[in-house]
Amino acid sequence: MCYYLIIAIATWKISLMTDQWTTSVWTETLLHTGLLVGVVAILWITERKWLEHIWSGYTPVD
Assigned domain for 14 exists: no
When comparing pLDDT for 1 and 43, which is higher? 43
User: pTM (2 decimals)?
Assistant: 0.43
Domain assignment present for 42 = yes
Domain ranges, residue 45: 1-8+24-53
Residues 48, 32, 30, CA angle at the centre, nearest 5°? 110
Q: Is the pLDDT score of 30 beyond 70?
A: yes
Phi, psi of 40 (to 5 degrees): -60, -45
Q: Residue 37 falls within a domain, yes or no?
A: yes
Domain total in the chain: 1
* Residues 5/40, Cβ–Cβ less than 8 Å: yes
Provide the pLDDT confidence category of residue 33 given band limits of 50, 70 and 90. confident
Sign of CA dihedral 39, 42, 46, 52: positive
What pLDDT is stored for residue 55 in this prediction? 66
18: in domain: no
Q: What is the mean pLDDT of the chain?
A: 71
